[in-house]
Structure 1
């Protein structure tokens, strides 16, 4: 549009700002958000449909609590006269659908995935389950046939027949002789490395925690790296789904009194084999924000409004990534006709590490005066807590402006910074007035006062102030230690609190 006006004279611009879909409170929130995408011409949508209900915000403890909140609130909406097909749940990545699907299945609420496959029907999840079934039961030749060439190992139909025959004679796949001469007579030598890995993994059952065994199965067989090497977009999406599957294993291990691989497979089977009602009617909709363009729903939930999720961490590395992610959130918000819910989690598990999350900058840009806080669902008792009520300045305009410092852990002109709090890591705190000389954003040497460097070195070989790299979060600087947690200020996604014992950190000299 800007180029058009420059290239042609006597151009008249007519702004089409009236919105015929959404209530005004929804549009006010969307306008406040998109206003942060600076441009030559401001556009403010308005509606003649009335103000409607305020936009609602819920801060959950984790993604399971977030999903349960949505299910409980959906129950309330059904009691109010809404239908399931009126409700849409929007998320940034496909992997986020797993806890939502689990919660809807447990509640007996039918749903449909738009523009994607249901989580347990995705190829990489079916492959992962097949690998685990073979490790748990080496006689399961149906599962073995599925994964024998995932990734490609050059095993054709005749080779598979020979392997099955050898396994039948030996009693199982892991019973086949390890002797190279014997192996070459019984089945193709190409299969020997895979059989050896499966044999070793089978022997780890009962001696290794289920989450570690699940990850070892997919990494040691080469499947995880195979997925990561796929086309960038596809590889990222499938790897995220596998990470969500690992998270499921962690959830099972915490819930089960005596977690076993067999028990985990039984739990997965109960969910993945659940019948979902066919047909488009009487089902809630689940879809990514990208798939939501052009659609509209009476009720919209947007989940995962946290730094690194929305905006997505991968997008923040691009020059216009912040703007594109904000526009995506704007599109999602304006899909709602009557009710808009936004939710975030205090913590998520990423690559087997429990991480505490910053609230999305988009929530702060919309501003607390435009939200109604829901500490729990009106249709149930989902755990959660208020966010803005405990923020400095409450819902004042001053607090809205200052709270944008939550973005990446750095302090703004008013001195607010994203610091790790002792018991609450979703509230902006007053930063030290002394300026930091560190090069990494969010790093302040004053925060290290009183830290026992010897204890830190004994814990994990790091000390406060070290620059480190994380395979998922990028580079950052160690801020502090608390108990078994290590606090790192990452350059692109802000403060994260990780397990000092398990965090995959590498020191950068």
Structure 2
């Protein structure tokens, strides 16, 4: 059997159709868990082994460095190591660095990693009053405008048409002025941003036929993964790479489009057959990831979407043996839900499911706190996914510096794992995880991941020493391939995209959270929320638990209703009787109206929960306080609650701690004015809180 035939031998009929379609435009509609990466990599490998492709002339484009690294690894295993697999930005930056001297002259301007400082300066020039949260939102709006190839003159009309609202509390006309001021500041600084990398590369290719010809001679065959997430700017760059050619294979799933807020659009995927008449369209429908029970729920979720929203939908066909049915549970409040989830996780762990194969997913990052507490109280390790990249974290950078120093003095007398733990201990690592949650726990988890990586390296390469570990870390940092600590994963639904676990808990599935309150009156936004839940459901291989709460806090009003997306999917109960349903719906409308009437003082977004309304800031906003102070307060609360043998929220809720950390009261009179600090708590905890805040005692 030839190498090219061997590559095809393990594919199913639809995957084989993709792998053998080596030329011409090809559009692959690949449902969740259907093996799209397998089909893509085997297509490239088959083309190389059959002599149709030269490896160096293939460019496979992905959306994350992790996905690009995985694709390169699989291609190496298939015997084709020379293929270029990169993100759009990485591919464009490489071309821009190479062609800038001849197309523009001089050195490429420095790239600004974070826009916040330049956006703040631009706002200052316009005498706009903006805080840190507003700057964050305005930076995101700058990115949205640029990936949509909008200029200040065209922004306002496009933003109004897209329903962008008032980012940073500013109307579209003012934001348009800010866009121009931002570009002026950037030009004066001699800098470019990440979107400029794509814009400048596209500009050079468009204006310099000689450069475009050079790139097109280099790359003759293109593959684009996650094509439903392509922006207008990325599509423009892809068009320039292609020229008049049609040797393009795109892969995507319109039902997993969840990043439209960042400029992604499925229209390029949906319109591909119209743009390329005669294009071969292949549907990957065999789901190898999930049980029939999970697949049925995922299909049922999309069955209830409006027909216009399911264009090019893939109906999944389960290939795995049957498993347990998904469970649906209503809890009285968020604390009860967290305790129930922790108990469910414990049952799975006791049954032999590895902790790393369990995930708890939620709509907003602010929902993690009660889950963290419940898992901690149950003695279950966890890790938070999302946020700052692993190798960009301060504790990881510090640990790598310490390991570089230790590498010079490693004489081989101490086992690698122990030596690395000794080094990490000087960076604050301990054998036992801290009782605190939040940033303290995340710091420990980062260092614990490095300790586990040392163990893995020692097992895989006997005789490996600290210099080998440092080299491994450097390679992983370049590929953004972070090690992970063993534990249950806590993540938002957005952060879970592209991942999978044996068991998934989907929590907080109530109106106002799924769909999120600010999407309730926009049909297109509601359907994106449905797709987001679909992504969550399809992350589960075997065990799937869905839950919601009737109230936010213990003893609170039971005004929450189950998500509309669960209608017809969950078993009927007394709560579904017409009178009860009507009463809940009325209460839900009232609650949503109240939430929409209150906005975050940081970003202007609607405050969807009572805790957010207490502090006047939404859960996803950057904190308006010193994080070290907040962590000190949480550690004090944890110790106090442990000593009193009560849940941490009984001492103070997170909302109250946020308010304390933000206002930094100087005395008990000021502390008494904070919501959640009543006379009894003031007497019991007041002096202790002030000591934490101001170091007295």
| Both proteins in one fold, TM over 0.5 | no
| Larger strand proportion of the pair | 1
- TM-score when normalising by structure 2: 0.33
Greater percentage in helix: 2
TM-score by length of structure 1 reads 0.44
